[in-house]
Structure 1
């Protein structure tokens, strides 16, 4: 039997025992990994059945487009997809120089085909058209849908990239951004993907810029395009901007550069709050620092409210979020569950001054994983409009009280605990 000298002591080592311990550790690790994955699969299957029986198709209150002037830039908030798509298509159909469209999901349906034809028509009349679509998010969309005439330049962000399997952070992340820039004078950004479902059945938020601040989104598109384009695609140029608007800026998460500023925007703004923090999120899984910042704000008397879906389109994200409800509710954060429809907005407004609208969720994938873009706007008039939107959303929401939450079933509590190891992945 082999021996080993440890701290002056001679210890006999049984190779068979060591082998058994290694086998036990390996099996225990596999079980530990399999349990949350198994729970996630079971939840997904159950939710798919429930979704067919009880789809989220109810109507919901929405504001008409709201416009505020910020210096020389007009900002318009959209909370209803049909209104947004009408405006976006009108802008593309009126384009005379360039169209730059970037989206995460682009469905092959009535709305999706309208956008496709609008780009084709624009290119046919001499407009320079550039489009970006995420390959992974559109795996279920027929590949034929993304065949365009050669004068429409399409960048399909690849599903797999060299280095992904080696967990190279620079090669990770999906292109989760939604941007449209027309003639360098009109631009849109927000949570809306392109598809008929989102036109009437999802509550989301987009913002339109018209004026000098459009450069913020144009520059974001150009930088991404030049970074990821294939050699067959033209390189885009950016002449810069003579206008500086520190109170209206685009923050861009870029895994390839290891740059993730949107998380910092949230932390800084929450730490500054003295009156109220209103957050609307599709998938609310804050990391430790944001979680701590929200609790600290509530402790100092700030009215912290979060609107989330009562039932979202990603059941696993719902259950991971619920695992944090107890600590948030006990800490004074108020949680409101949006009823009978999917709320997909990624917005916040603080103290009647600070607002963000964009593509990033408050979860790991968005804040330290995907390509994202959020506008940060410091303007009292726009913040007032966003607070109006938030209050309207509250009329379609049910507040979750601590007492009601603590009375949930033991099975629900067990499920939250079992699935919690997946939280760092989302």
Structure 2
């Protein structure tokens, strides 16, 4: 005799099936991760890790500014290279390729640091320039690793930039995850090809987290599927922070489905975006999100650059990936997905604290916005895959 399902039951079944495919099986952790939300604290910890290194220091970043913070890292890396360690620095040719970086580049070369640009512009392969290395990763002795949203620049420093410093989030991991971070770094350093499928195991019951890059040979939509899978698993609440949000993506649709089935879904994005057109694209998603019951907030006091997700105070994602088209489907990204209530609790508390400095976008207010604002959103919608 056939079993008939209601529409809601069918949707839940689809969500569960998607979750089973896209979300790895993880053991539950017990607070093994260190969370950083202040640049000065993070930079001090990273420099201390570099100074403790005895074998290898491998680092990559999207932005590595030729300022006081960048100079401090170059000095620390150069000192270790002169001491005979294997020191590598892999920087994005677009994000970090400023003219005034040349002096720091010379200091690196003179000390023996192995340096590489990720995809400088090449007339023979111009379309490759469209994909950027947006990852931020430091791995020391394959023992500890730092990853998240922080770039290397004074904009993230309270001491140097003051109260208007950028708001961001980073993590320190160790043990098996640090060794996995070493593999991720080396793969991109060698050839930038997609990781073999076995490098991203579906089942990792012995550890509480997994480092997931943008895609493997098995799936070029891994980050989108991972986020959508976790959202599909949600029973009570979903708290997302992202500087940019891509309308029309699988993540956008998954959030709307979750809100429809009664999950408390909240999205925090910046009031001011850089570039402006990225903010217009984000706002182009507001209408459908609000209609579905998603609560949308705009962060007010300073630039928001953190990329975090918390589901049911148990699961979390932290890394370099925005919830937009480029991060989900184009750029090289790296995130940690963790099944750890201590980390999820910290991220959730920070999210709720950030809401105190945010303004909620209500349905009536949104529909009273000006025609100029609507026109800018249309431009953002058209440009959303290029940002």
Which TM-score applies when normalising by structure 2?
0.83
RCO comparison, higher one (Cα < 8 Å, 6+): 2
Cα distance between partner residues in 2 of 1:83 and 1:140: 26
Q: 1:150 to 1:258 in 2, by over 3 A?
A: farther
Judge which range, 208-217 or 370-379, deviates more.
208-217
Match of 2:13 in 1: none
Unaligned runs of 5+ in 2: 1-27, 159-164, 194-198
Cα distance between partner residues in 1 of 2:105 and 2:219: 30
Cα distance between partner residues in 2 of 1:179 and 1:190: 7
Which TM-score applies when normalising by structure 1?
0.76
Matched, 1:299 2:263: no
Matched, 1:146 2:110: no
Contact 1:356 1:375 in 2 (8 A): yes
Matched, 1:363 2:321: no
Matched, 1:111 2:69: yes
Cα distance between partner residues in 1 of 2:132 and 2:304: 21
Cα distance between partner residues in 2 of 1:395 and 1:301: 24
Q: CA deviation at 1:161?
A: 4.2
The within-5 A match list for 1:91-102 is 91-102=49-60
Question: SS of the residue aligned with 1:340?
Answer: coil
Q: 1:75 to 1:293 in 2, by over 3 A?
A: same
- Equivalent of 2:138 in 173, 180, 188: 180
Unaligned runs of 5+ in 1: 1-68, 230-237
Judge which range, 201-210 or 136-145, deviates more.
136-145
Judge which range, 408-417 or 305-314, deviates more.
408-417
Give a deviation string over 1:289-337, Cα, whole Å, max 9, x none: 2221111100110000011101122211001111111111111110111
Cα distance between partner residues in 1 of 2:338 and 2:247: 22
Question: SS of the residue aligned with 2:32?
Answer: strand
Match of 1:12 in 2: none
Matched, 1:209 2:170: no
- Equivalent of 2:191 in 227, 235, 258: 227
Contact 1:74 1:211 in 2 (8 A): no
Cα distance between partner residues in 1 of 2:379 and 2:137: 38
Matched, 1:417 2:378: yes
Q: 1:409 to 1:267 in 2, by over 3 A?
A: same
Cα distance between partner residues in 2 of 1:330 and 1:209: 39
User: Which structure has the bigger radius of gyration?
Assistant: 1
Cα distance between partner residues in 1 of 2:119 and 2:191: 13
Q: Provide the aligned length of Structure 1 versus Structure 2.
A: 342
Question: SS of the residue aligned with 2:176?
Answer: coil
Judge which range, 182-191 or 147-156, deviates more.
147-156
Match of 1:88 in 2: 46
Q: CA deviation at 1:141?
A: 4.1
Q: 1:268 to 1:205 in 2, by over 3 A?
A: same
Q: 1:89 to 1:397 in 2, by over 3 A?
A: same
Q: CA deviation at 1:224?
A: 1.0
Cα distance between partner residues in 1 of 2:246 and 2:312: 23
Q: 1:272 to 1:258 in 2, by over 3 A?
A: closer
Q: CA deviation at 1:251?
A: 0.6
Give a deviation string over 1:46-82, Cα, whole Å, max 9, x none: xxxxxxxxxxxxxxxxxxxxxxx946x8310101111
Contact 1:319 1:419 in 2 (8 A): yes
Match of 2:11 in 1: none
Question: SS of the residue aligned with 1:343?
Answer: coil
Q: 1:347 to 1:107 in 2, by over 3 A?
A: same
Question: SS of the residue aligned with 2:272?
Answer: coil
Matched, 1:195 2:153: yes
Cα distance between partner residues in 2 of 1:123 and 1:361: 33
Match of 1:280 in 2: 241
Q: 1:158 to 1:339 in 2, by over 3 A?
A: same
Q: CA deviation at 1:209?
A: 1.1
Matched, 1:136 2:107: no
The CA RMSD measured in Å over matched residues stands at 2.3
